[in-house]
Each structure stands twice: as C-alpha cells, then as structure tokens.
Structure 1
Amino acid sequence: MTSPFRLILLGLGLLTAPAALAQQPGRFTISGHVRDGATGESLIGVAVVNPATGQGTATNTYGFYSLTLPAADSVKLLVSYLGYEKQRLGLKADRSLTYDVRLKPLSAELSGVEVVGSREEKISRSTRMGTINVPVSQIKLLPALFGETDVLKVLQLLPGVQSGSEGSSGLYVRGGSPDQNLILLDGTPVYNAAHLFGFFSVFNADAIKNVELIKGGFPARYGGRLSSVLDISMKEGNMEKFHGEGAVGIIASRITLEGPIKKDTASFIFSARRTYIDVLTQPLVKLATEGVSAGYYFYDLNGKLNWKVGARDRLYLSGYAGNDKFYADTEEKRGEEYDRLDSGLGWGNRTAALRWNRVVNDRLFMNTHLTYTRYQFLVGVESENRYYQGTDLKTDKFSLAYLSNIQDWSIKQDYDFVPNPNHYVRFGGQYILHQFRPGAVQAKGDLGVPTDEVNIGSRVRASEAGLYVEDDYRVSERLKVNLGVRYNTFLVNKKVYHSPEPRVSARFMLTEDVSLKASYARTSQFIHLLTNSGIGLPTDLWVPATAKIKPQTAQQFAVGAAKDLRFHDEDFELSFEAYYKPMNNLIEFREGADFLGTTDSDWESKVTSGQGWAYGGEVFLQKKSGKTTGWIGYTLAWSNRKFPELNQGRLYPYKYDRRHDASLVVIHQFSPTLTLSGTWVYGTGNATTLSQGRYQLGPFDDFEDYGPRNSYRMRAYHRLDLDLSHTKKKKWGEIVNSFSLYNAYSRKNPFYIYLDQGYSTPSGGMVEAVYKQVSLFPIIPSFSKSFKF
C-alpha cells in the first residue's frame, strides 16, 4: 500500500476511534432503523428531529439513523417522510437506546402525488447541490414510449440532463459524455444501461426502490467518473406478505414477485421482463422470404435476497442479468446439400452483489460490499456448407466473431459515524480489479492453414483503489458545509497514477427559507469509452488509461440559490445553479478510425486526446405534493471540445452541445383512480458535420470535403407526450389501464441528415444534390395493462 494511503488510514483512525468507542458524559444516543410499516422496506432520508431544539438527523441508504442529544428526563422526537404518516415518539432520555420505527403509508386520498424529492429536508437547508431524488411511483405515471416505463427517460426531463437523439435513453449530464456517468445498481456499476439500440434502459421500474441523480457537488464517497452519479437501489423484498405486480404492453411484458421467506427475518424479490418483437414478426419474415429467420429481443432478470441475521446484522444478495440479441439466419436446401449462414449481434450486462450491514454501535454503521460486473458485446457470423465432392458428402464450417468486454471485481467498505447532531461523518475505501478486452477477433474453421483456429486479442488487467472521508458539518444555524477528500490510485502495466480529489459544498441561510450555495469537486476517471456511434449502438469499447493515454480529469465549480415557496397553501421549491467544468485528457477516434478491427494491441494508435469545457445555468421549479404536481426545468448551456488532431486543432461544439433545453412535467390526479400526465420538451438542435462537396479524383476514387466539425445545427427538437391511467380496484388487488401518446402532435424531429446525391437526367439536365432529414417517430399511441396483487 502506498504511503499516502497509510497516512489517510492513520488519520481516520485517530479521528474516529476515540469518539466511536466512548460515550460523552451527560449525553445519550437514540439509534435504529426506519422502515415501511406495510412491507418492511428500509426508508432512505427519513427526518428524525427533536422539535424543541431543532436538532435532527436523517436515515442513510439502509434506513439507519443515529441521534445524540443531551441527557434529560424525557425527549419527544418527530419522525417524518413524504407519503407517510408522521410519528411522534416520547422516550426516556436517561440512557442510550435502540428504537426501530415503522411508518404507515398515507392513503392515496390523503397523500396526493409526490413527483420529485421524497426526502423531508427542505431544499434550502440541504448542503448538497445538483442532487435530485425521483420517486419510482411517479416515474411510472409519466408517459412512456410504447408504454414501457423508463427511468432514464424521466431523468432526461431534469435540468442539466440531455438526451442524445430521438428516443434514446442515453444521459449527457452538464456537457459530459455517457461514459462519464457512474451508474450504480445496488452499488454495482452498470457499464451499458441501454436496450434496443439505446431506446430503452435496462432498469425494470417494478424492481426499483430509489433513484438518485447527482450532477455536481459530488460527495467524497463517490469516485471514478467526471459528470454524474446515478444511484439506483433495488427493493429488498416484502417482509410481511407475498406480493406481485406486472404489466403487459405492446412490445414487452414484465412480472415482479416478492415476499417473506421467513416473516420479519428473510425475504426475496424476483423480477423479469422480455420483449416479444421477434415472436410477433417471425411469421411475417418467413412468409416474405423463404429460408430466412430474423428477429430481435431483449430481456432483464433481477433478483435479491434479504436476511436479517440478528439485531445488528443484515445480509443482502442481489443480481442482474440482461441481454439484447439481434439475429438473421438464412438456409438454402438442395436435397442433402445445403448452405446455412447465421449472423448476429448481442450485448448485455451481468452483475452480482453481496452486502453485509452491521450496526457497530449506536453511532457507527458499517457496510461491506462485494461486487462483480461484466459488460460484453459480440458480433459474429457462422456458415456451414454441405456438398458433394464426387460421391463423397462433405461439410465445411467457418465462424468469425468480434468480441469486446469489461469485467470488474470489487470490495468496498463504508462507515457512517454520527458523533452528534452537528456532524455526520462518512469514511471508507474501495479496491477494484478491472479486466479489459478492448477487442478480440476469433476465427474457426477451414482456413487453409494447419491449425483450424485463430484468436487475436488478449486481456488487460488494472487495479484501482480509493479512500475517502467526508463530514457534513453544521457550523452554525445559518452555515452548513460538507468537507471531504478522496484519494485514488490506478495501476496498469506497471504504470501508476495518483489522484487526490478535494470536495467541498456549503449552504448559507439568508432567511428562514432562502439559502445561497456553492460547491467545488475535483474528479478523475481511469477508464475511457471509445465510441463513434450517435444512436447508442453497442459498438463501444471500454479501455483503460495507460502510459500513453492519461486518465480523464475534471473540476466542477458551482454556485446557486434555493428557496422554499408557499403559494395558496401549496408548497413549491425553486432552485438555480450555475456551473463551470473544465475537462482534460478526453479521447476520440482519429479521423477515419473506428471500432472495426480494433484490438487490445492497436487501439492506442487509433485515438487522440484533447480538452473540453462545459458551463451554463439551470433553473428548477417543482411542486411535490397535492393533486396537481410536476416541475419546470430550463438549462442554458455550452459544451465545447478541442483536440490538436481534430478539426485542425480549432475549438468546436460537442455533438450534444445544446444551448437551450426546457421541460414541463404535469401530473394531475382527478381522483384516486384517474390520473392524467403530460411532458413537453424543447431543445436546440444537435450539432453535426456536413459534407460541403464531393470530388472525383479518378474513375474509382471519390473525395468527400467536410466542413468544420459540428458546424451545422439540426432543427430544434420539441415533443409532447400524454398518458391517461385508470385504476380498477379488485378483491385480489388492482389493475391499471394506461393509454399514452408519444409525440402527440406528430412533430417531425430530426434523427439524422444525409446527402441525396445529384444525378444527370436522360434529357441532359441535372438534379442537384440536396440534404434530407430523416425523422424516426411520428405520433405513436400505445396501451398497457399493469396489475398488482
């Protein structure tokens, strides 16, 4: 272990050990877990407050809280969480104690609808910037393409978050690229979160409990990416009774089952989703072309086991498997002879996680996390030919495949330490073993050489380690700061990189409901994504930083203000943030290079490094409760790149540089059984590079003359989506019928632009070349039926 790691560990030990082991005289600690009274699920961010003094805390990711107060004859605490009945506790305050709380969910008639932010802490009082928590229950109410609920598409409606192209589920956060987002599923990284060439995400909303997006002001406990953290937690499984839900849609169906293995001790949850586009189209393909079989489908599987080992210990085992497969097979028979050709494209993720939670004492909580993740894509073709040679029947077989993957094994340990209500300390460390296979070509069959197999490609291993400490410190009633530092190292092929990363964010209360905020974060990223695709095709290659290719680094400066509003007895939250983010050591393919034929031995020669700058401002107004809820978001932003070997070394706009981006989201609950929702989005057109002319240099050689990189803007993008949902109560549960319209006024939004070549007419005239726009989706109605029991 390097000396800086030893110093940090020593400092952590000196800082926390005495306080963790000794109870201060004249004080006592109340600690425990807060859970859903109906299901036993842990609740994140529940406020536990002493109203008499204003001192309080909030539950962590696993529902644990700890509150240290001065000794007294008795104390009254208020436990509150949006969507649940408040609970008042009257406790003796003469000694430390453990007290678990079960909150009762409010009925639909009482709770209304919550849209963004399920935490009780007011936006003006939080030190965190650029952080939004999105309740899954509201994600399910918003309109969805083909009726398929999509977490990532809802996040695209937030300020500072942009979509890539029409219908895609990619996230471009504050001028960053998709590989700069740390996407966590139960704490395990997911390297490709897209299905159907980017049009759907891999997350099944029925299996998800919590969704949190961090765009800036990153706490020190997160590392490894430059632009955002998307932290998604799966449900733990109903501890009280068996429960199920699912849906049947136009292109896919899903089912989720959960329940107790042993009541109040162990539970499970299992979820599955599959499309059936291939099943529906297969008969039509065979009818149209004899001997041809083609199709596409994807599936997701989620599972989780939850075991309460004892009063202080809990184990979780969770996993995910998902895959996309496109195939096209042809077969031509001639009696005993035949020719068969099978081709396909497949990609998918596998994750597994084992977590151990332990309440070390009433102020110290520990979480140990073992994880595995793998992303892989494969392009392949197989052929088989059976034929007569003279009187002998012979068979030739040949296969060719291009493979790329990345695998991680990780161990992480996190501690939450709450010495008193003015401090919330987190510290811990992580070690990751990466294994990269940027590109491998495999060929088998009769190659005309002595061996019948060729394998080009090998694996590259790298180690990444990080330590962190942070403290959410209430300096005074007006001033609160989050101070932290993270220290990362990366080892690959004997090359070692070090990255100290200070983090700080603060809020200052101007009045009771108005605050000013500021933050700074330095981040580093030791892995790169090589991509030349704009529509989410899975031809992306994950590669490590090397001696030649340096890690990506960034700094983000942000300032802002927040205000809690009350208008006609309705609560609103208004926030503004401005940011500036310079980025270094970004990589792109050189001109003319792409993933085809790229292997681990030559990818470094196909890329070039450069810089990026992103800056802008975001306004966010949201209404979180009541019969009508929603938000308005607006972003004014710039995102530029500069590479010495691209665009003649001149500054150019990033492909998804978008000057103006606006969104309007409204959910209205007419009654507990009837809900209407709508979203409207507007964005400046994407930047693209167009050919300015084509020249013929010879009889077989054409030259395309391109202008400055990304110098042309497509038309502005805007779209309206609507959804009407009606709930029918049954003895066994409920059925929800949803009718939705995607692109309700059928706007012809640009997907891409191509040059339609000119030509000479038979009469000697000339038709000039023109650019034409391709639009993907007109108005699309869809219907889905979901159920719960």
Structure 2
Amino acid sequence: MKIKLSVLFLCLAMSIFSQEKVDITFVEAPLQDVLKQMEASFGVKFSFNPEIIKEKSFSFTKKECELVYLINEIERKTPLIFNQINERYYYITKNSNFNPNEYNLLNEVLVTNHIKSGINKKRNGTITVHPKDLGVLPGLTEPDVLESLKIIPGVQSPDETAAGVYIRGGTPNQNLILWDGIKMYYSGHFFGMISAFNPYVTEEITLSKSGTSARYGNRVSGVIDIKSNNEIPKKTTGNFGLNMTHADAYVNIPVSKKASFLLSMRRSYANIIKTPTFNNISTRVFQTFDVNQEKNIFGNGIKFNRENNFNFADYTAKLNFSLTEEEQLSLSFLYTKNKLFNSFEIPDYKDFYTDDLSIKNAGFGIQWTKKVSERLTHHIKGYFSSFKLNYTGKYNYIDNFLIFFSSKNNLINDVGVSYNFNYELNDKASIFAGYDFTSTESEYELKYLYDIQNQNVFNSLEENNGNNNTSSLFGEFIYDNDNWNINLGTRLNYFSKIDKYVIEPRLYLEKKITQHLRAKASFEQKHQTLVQIIEFQTASLGFDLENQLWTQVNNDNVPLQKSLQVSSGILFNKDNWSIDIEPYYKKVSGMTSLTSGYNDQSNDFSNGEGKIYGVDVLVHKKFNNYRTWINYSYTKNRFKFLDLENTFFPANHDITNYFSWSQAYKLNNYEFSLGWILRTGNPYTEINEFVTDENGQNPIIYLDWENINALRLPRYSRFDASVTYSFNLSDKWKSKIGFSLLNIFDRKNILNRTYNTVPFINSQNNLKYQLKEVDKVSLGITPNFVFRVSF
C-alpha cells in the first residue's frame, strides 16, 4: 500500500507553465520572413532546406497566438511539415502529398496534443491519433492502433482486450472500422489482445464518438477511420523489430519521383519459442476454455494431455502515386489471419477433444483524389472486403462410445464504391457531398451431431444467408470562422434487403465564448443492417472464444438497428491546460436478446432497446517535457427486452465509473510513462437454482432472470509502466529498446463470472455433479520488451 501511495504522490507533481503568446499578422509574406519572425518571437530555431520554401508566401492574422497554433496553420496552408526535436529546435521537411482541399477540413484543428504527443482534437469534433508521434503509453512498449484509443474518454474495454473497443456504451460490432477505406469485420489478433493493424504503416487514426460526418454510414456506434502511410520518400525507408509476442518489418520503396511501394508484415513466433508474455496472454485468453474441458475429469490425480498451437499474422501492401501536384492515386491491400488448433486428451477415459479455428480478413481498396480548381476537389474510392471464420470441434469418449461434433462457418463478402466532392464557397464555408453504394453478402452455417453407439443420433443444421445493397446520398454544409464551427449534414439510405428508406441527420457545432472557452453540441442518427448474433452451440464443446456470427437484418427476428445520440459540452484551453467535458444521451432500438447474449442459451428472439447516458471528462496539462492527463467517464448503460421482465437492467459491459490517470516524461533519449486505471466491476447475474435428478445426474443451472446483472464484481484496479530508450547505430540507422510492465502489483481483477457443473465421485463411488463458480481473471503482472531498428 505504501508503494502505491508513493506512486500516487509522484503523479501529483504538476506545475503551471504559460506558453508565450504574440499577436500575428502576415499578408502574403515570404515564408523565409515568416520563419525568421517566429524564431525571434517564440525563441525557437528551425532547420530546413531553402529550396522547400522558395517562392512560397503565407497569410494569417491572430491575436495572442501560440506557437503550436501558428505551426498548424502553416502546415495546413503550405506543403511543410514541422518535426520537433525538443522544446526549442525543429527541422522542416516537405509534404510531397500536400493537398489543402482534400475533404472538408478547413480550419479544423482546434487543440494540438489534446492528450499526448500524437493525439489531436479537431474542430469538427473528431480526434486524430498519429502512432509515429504518439510516444510511449503506460504498459505498452510500442504503439497499438486500437489500444491507443483507450486513453480517450468514452472509449473503454471491459474485457481488457485491444480490439474490444466499446464507444459510449456501444459494442465493438457496432463500430465502423475502416482501413484505407476498406471495411474491417475482424480487428484483432490473439482473440483481440492485439490490434490487427500494423502501427508502423499507420499514418492517422480518426475517431468519431458523436456528431459523426454524414460520409460514414451503416453502424450505430463510433467510427474508427485508419489511414496508412501515403508518403513517397526520396530514398528507401523502413524499420523492423521484435517484441515478446511477435516480429514485424516494413519497407517503403520509391519506384520513381512520383510513386512508391510500401510492404509490411507481422507474425507471431510462439511456434518457435513461447515467451513469458505470450504464456501470460494465453493463460488469460484460454482460462475458461480450459475449465470447460477439465470439468469432465471426475476425480483428483487424473492425468491429461493438452496441446495448444496458436499463431497470427498480417500483411499490408500499398502503391502510392502522385500523378500531378493536384492528383493522387493509391491502391491498398490488407490480409490478417488467426489460426488455433487445440487437442485435449484424458487417457484413462479414452477421452479426446479437438478444436480447429481459422479466422481471416482480407481487403483491397483504391482511392483517387484530384483538385480541379482552387475551390473544387473530387474523390473516388472503391473497396472489396472478405471475412471468413471456420471452426470444427470434436469430442470422442471411450473409443467413440459417445461422439459430439460441431462446426460453424461465417462468411462476408463486401464490395463498395463512393464518390464525393468538396467545394469551398469562400474562405469560411464549404459544401461536401457524395454518393455511396455497397453490396454485402453474408452467410453462416451451424452443424451439430450427438451420437451414442450409433443408436441415439441427433443432428441439427442451421443456415442463414442474405444479400443487402445499400445506396446512400449524403451532404454537409461546413462553416468555420474564429467564433463558430458548424457541420450540418444528412444521409439518405436505401436498404434493399428490407426495402426501406431511412434519413440520418447529423450536426456538430462549436461556439467561441471567450478566448479560452468554447461550447459544443452534437446530434446524430444512424442505422445498421449487418449485426452479430450470439450462438451457444459450440460452447457445449468448451469453445467460447468466438461465439459471434455476422448476419443480415430482416423483417422477422433480426430487426434494423437504430441509434440516436445528443451531446453538449465545453472546451477550455489556456496555459497548456486542456479541459473537455461532454455529457451525452444515446438510445438504441432494434436490439434482440440473441444479438446481445441474454437469451439463456435458447434460440428464442426477444426484441429490446438500450438507453445510455453519461459524461466524459478529460483534464490534460503539459509542463515542459512532462504531461499528465486524467480521463473520467460516468456511464449508465441499460437494456430492456420484452420477454425478460420488460424492465431496464445493466448491460453486460456497463461500467458506471471509469477513471484513468496517466503520466509521460521525456528526458533526452528516454521516455517514461506511468498509468493507473480504476473502474467499477462488470455486472453479472446470480444463480437462482441448481438442480439434478434423483440420481444426481442431468444437472441444470437456472440463473435469476428476474434480476439480470443485479450484482457487481469487485472494482478493477491496475498500474502500468513503460520506458524506452532511443539511440543511433549510425548516421542512417536508428534504434530503440523498451520495457513495459502491465499490472505492476499483480492484482487479480475479475472480468467475468459464470457457473459450471463439475462431476465428482462421492464416497459411495457414485458419479454426482456439483456447482462451480468460474471467474475469468485479468492479466497478471506481464512484462514486455521491444527492440527496433529503423533506416
């Protein structure tokens, strides 16, 4: 306890630092003069090649302007990138893909370094993350595309996974995840513990929690838009590295002055060596899976054999073309895979289990952008995405006396094209509009066989397939000046599967109250036609890791999902203080108990709705090379289903209070980071009754469905820390080593509680069953180490 208090007191070291502000006025001033005045006014130094600023001018006026704001304006209006070395020194490079009119950005950057280096808040309400600039986060030795979002208020992971991104009460399958415009249907490795996206080829991640742009559709929760590197380097660049779960490498090769080819790969190496980190994650992932298999051991001292082979990999490729200064073209490819084979044998019983699982997600995308005039820009994109899940499980008992066989297959083929344009009416207003068409085919198949000596054979087969074509028109009016920022849009969708038109209004606005205070508000409505259902059939064999299947909505038992969200809040920025407070209310309809897992393992559908309200709070302070940020979210996430008492109850992922406190400090070539997470425990449903027949056989567990999720697990608490050191191997080769610890104090946090029946031999040598409480526990203290080389 004393150690914990010492850590907390250390975190309280925070002082006030006032960044200098000056009045700025430039009217068609040469960039050379602009940079000289900036050096004199802010006490900084710039290093650059004079050729990149030759014959370039800059205009800008602002009273009490900070350096970071002025740098953002120059980067927005000119093809320059400012790279910060330390508090005083910068080197300036050319952005070869500069396009000031791409999309509808205008003066969108409001706050830079919103939370930490590499995370920025934009004037349209979105938050952007740049993994290359992110620095070290608590418990991570290197960036993780999805894990990095968890330090943003309103983004949580109740199941402690990277891919388990819950945005303001929405579930992961309700998020729209795009990689270079390609829709992704599986975003994790190692059952979600690691993101499926290579952070070293990721240029930018854009997160939308509310007031989403009208360009995004067909999901009812957040949007995670991931863009890969589009740089055309003058010489070959790249890096490679190794941590305690996987190895990776990427290279960016200039094919010509106007084209480049980027290639990357990541792969686990547990088939060669199993590190402590990999073993800890395996224990966390497979703990309930192992319990389900071992429950059939009837007594102590019974030997069993287990073999668990798991691997994952992802590959990306991209061609970038700068056809002219006004025209760009890119072609992107992504392939991810996860493979598991498990065998479990009890020789004394001649009992043998096998589980074979394969998950693949592949996609191809093409994007073209052209600026045809100073005011008008066109953008066209197309994509194809494919998702495949295949599972087979088999259980043989006493030389095939009893046989269970189960399989499931889930397939999605998704193709889409889109056109949009951005037209600037003047320097304050623009119009953004376009058209989307997507065609999504999905199917799943569930097979089940139960056979006792070829006499009592039971077979079942469940199949579903469908195709939905979605046509969407969308448009936005954007107005942005120093006092107002308004994004007003709408999206009109037609869904062929259910023959229905829906309109989705969107709004985000900000109003300047004082020099340092702004008010904001948003409204959005969304719909979703592709959802995930929970299936319990394969859980009978013990495999409960991937029990969700994608399926299309229909006019019968899987209704169209609809969400409505309103929010308001304030933004305060002064003297390196940032405070962001945003209450919100969200309503989701079209839910079913089978899509949410509340049907007590039956196949009955029950319609329902969800209501979520809460408030997100962020407090961020920078003092020289030290940053600290506090993230707090209060959430009430309630569901109601007609056949389950028809009253609202806490959702499975309802986290009432979520608090995190993180620190980052840079000292020369060292970076340190420390974080603490404290939150409410997950809800669970208590046992109502456990019964067996008169012979103690055929055990049945009845949960208390009249009081769903009425109980709470103990609160969750975790400390994490990281440190990295960067150094040069030569003039061209740079390197980094790092070390991290997750859950420093090895706290046993319970993530989930279920119940199981366990056989045993009583004193009369009779087989009986007893009730067992099964807790899924979080990761214990978990080290990780990284070594990287870049060139």
TM-score normalized with structure 1 length:
0.75
| RMSD over equivalenced CA pairs, Å | 4.1
The 8 Å contact of residues 376 and 406 in structure 1, kept in 2 or not, is answered as yes
Residues 290 and 775 of structure 1, relative CA distance in 2, 3 Å threshold: closer
Match of 2:178 in 1: 184
Match of 1:393 in 2: none
Partner deviation per Cα, 1:135-192 (whole Å, 9 max, x = no partner):
21354511446x5642222212221111031345301111111111111111111111
Post-superposition shift, 1:352? 0.8
The 8 Å contact of residues 158 and 751 in structure 2, kept in 1 or not, is answered as no
Q: How does 1:254-293 map to 2 (within 5 A)?
A: 254-263=248-257, 265-280=258-273
Match of 1:378 in 2: 390
1:733 alignment partner AA = W
1:132 to 127, 143, 150: 127
Q: How far apart are the structure 2 equivalents of 1:424 and 1:757?
A: 63
The 8 Å contact of residues 141 and 677 in structure 1, kept in 2 or not, is answered as yes
Q: How far apart are the structure 1 equivalents of 2:569 and 2:124?
A: 8
1:463 matched to 2:463: no
1:515 to 503, 515, 518: 518
Q: How far apart are the structure 2 equivalents of 1:770 and 1:550?
A: 37
Residues 166 and 505 of structure 1, relative CA distance in 2, 3 Å threshold: closer
Post-superposition shift, 1:442? 11
Partner deviation per Cα, 1:7-47 (whole Å, 9 max, x = no partner):
xxxxxxxxxxxxxxxxxxxxx9x9xxxxxx999xxxxxxxx
Q: How far apart are the structure 1 equivalents of 2:395 and 2:515?
A: 73
1:252 matched to 2:246: yes
1:423 to 404, 422, 429: 429
2:219 alignment partner AA = R
1:105 to 69, 74, 83: 83
1:553 matched to 2:562: yes
1:657 matched to 2:654: yes
Q: How far apart are the structure 1 equivalents of 2:425 and 2:744?
A: 54
1:616 to 614, 633, 638: 614
Post-superposition shift, 1:703? 3.3
1:307 to 315, 321, 326: 321
1:572 to 566, 571, 577: 577
Match of 2:110 in 1: 121
1:214 alignment partner AA = S
Residues 38 and 763 of structure 1, relative CA distance in 2, 3 Å threshold: farther
Residues 620 and 776 of structure 1, relative CA distance in 2, 3 Å threshold: closer
The 8 Å contact of residues 136 and 142 in structure 2, kept in 1 or not, is answered as no
Residues 743 and 127 of structure 1, relative CA distance in 2, 3 Å threshold: closer
The 8 Å contact of residues 194 and 536 in structure 1, kept in 2 or not, is answered as no
Q: How far apart are the structure 2 equivalents of 1:661 and 1:637?
A: 8
Q: How far apart are the structure 1 equivalents of 2:527 and 2:306?
A: 49
Q: How far apart are the structure 1 equivalents of 2:659 and 2:316?
A: 34
Q: How far apart are the structure 2 equivalents of 1:547 and 1:780?
A: 48
Q: How far apart are the structure 1 equivalents of 2:191 and 2:418?
A: 32
Q: How does 1:455-604 map to 2 (within 5 A)?
A: 457=463, 459-474=465-480, 477-492=482-497, 495-531=498-534, 537-548=545-556, 549-566=558-575, 571-589=576-594
Q: How does 1:208-219 map to 2 (within 5 A)?
A: 208-219=202-213
Match of 1:5 in 2: none
Post-superposition shift, 1:281? 5.3
Partner deviation per Cα, 1:657-677 (whole Å, 9 max, x = no partner):
111101112110011x11111
Post-superposition shift, 1:593? 6.6
Residues 734 and 83 of structure 1, relative CA distance in 2, 3 Å threshold: farther
Q: How far apart are the structure 2 equivalents of 1:772 and 1:207?
A: 40
Match of 1:350 in 2: 362
2:432 alignment partner AA = R
The 8 Å contact of residues 83 and 111 in structure 1, kept in 2 or not, is answered as no
Match of 1:172 in 2: 166
1:628 matched to 2:619: no
2:157 alignment partner AA = S
Match of 1:751 in 2: 751
Q: How does 1:639-658 map to 2 (within 5 A)?
A: 639-646=637-644, 648-658=645-655
Match of 1:3 in 2: none
SS of the residue corresponding to residue 198 of structure 1 reads: coil
Which has the larger displacement, 434-443 or 408-417? 434-443
Match of 2:716 in 1: 717
Post-superposition shift, 1:634? 0.6
1:231 to 220, 225, 232: 225
The 8 Å contact of residues 528 and 587 in structure 1, kept in 2 or not, is answered as no
Match of 1:67 in 2: none
Post-superposition shift, 1:465? 1.4
Which has the larger displacement, 772-781 or 339-348? 339-348
Partner deviation per Cα, 1:443-471 (whole Å, 9 max, x = no partner):
9xxxx9xxxxx997464111011111111
Post-superposition shift, 1:255? 0.5
SS of the residue corresponding to residue 279 of structure 1 reads: coil
2:637 alignment partner AA = S
Post-superposition shift, 1:506? 1.7
SS of the residue corresponding to residue 361 of structure 1 reads: coil
1:412 matched to 2:418: yes
2:110 alignment partner AA = E
Q: How does 1:755-770 map to 2 (within 5 A)?
A: 755=755
Q: How far apart are the structure 2 equivalents of 1:361 and 1:536?
A: 56
Q: How far apart are the structure 2 equivalents of 1:563 and 1:108?
A: 26
Residues 576 and 182 of structure 1, relative CA distance in 2, 3 Å threshold: same
Post-superposition shift, 1:678? 1.6
1:242 matched to 2:240: no
Post-superposition shift, 1:205? 0.7
The 8 Å contact of residues 509 and 515 in structure 1, kept in 2 or not, is answered as yes
Post-superposition shift, 1:583? 1.1
Post-superposition shift, 1:489? 1.1
The 8 Å contact of residues 124 and 485 in structure 2, kept in 1 or not, is answered as no
SS of the residue corresponding to residue 555 of structure 1 reads: strand
Post-superposition shift, 1:377? 0.8
SS of the residue corresponding to residue 630 of structure 2 reads: strand
**Aligned pairs, number:** 658
Matched-pair identity in % = 23
1:669 to 660, 666, 671: 666
Residues 619 and 463 of structure 1, relative CA distance in 2, 3 Å threshold: same
1:366 matched to 2:344: no
Post-superposition shift, 1:243? 0.8
Post-superposition shift, 1:614? 0.4
Partner deviation per Cα, 1:359-413 (whole Å, 9 max, x = no partner):
12221111100101112210026999xxxxxxxxxxxxx9974211212100011
Post-superposition shift, 1:49? 7.5
Match of 1:22 in 2: none
Residues 455 and 172 of structure 1, relative CA distance in 2, 3 Å threshold: closer
1:131 alignment partner AA = T
1:132 alignment partner AA = I
Post-superposition shift, 1:87? 5.0
TM-score normalized with structure 2 length:
0.75
The 8 Å contact of residues 80 and 87 in structure 1, kept in 2 or not, is answered as no
Q: How far apart are the structure 2 equivalents of 1:173 and 1:82?
A: 29
Post-superposition shift, 1:608? 2.5
Post-superposition shift, 1:513? 1.5
Post-superposition shift, 1:539? 2.8
Post-superposition shift, 1:217? 1.1
2:714 alignment partner AA = R
Q: How far apart are the structure 2 equivalents of 1:526 and 1:85?
A: 39
Residues 591 and 416 of structure 1, relative CA distance in 2, 3 Å threshold: closer
Residues 477 and 88 of structure 1, relative CA distance in 2, 3 Å threshold: closer
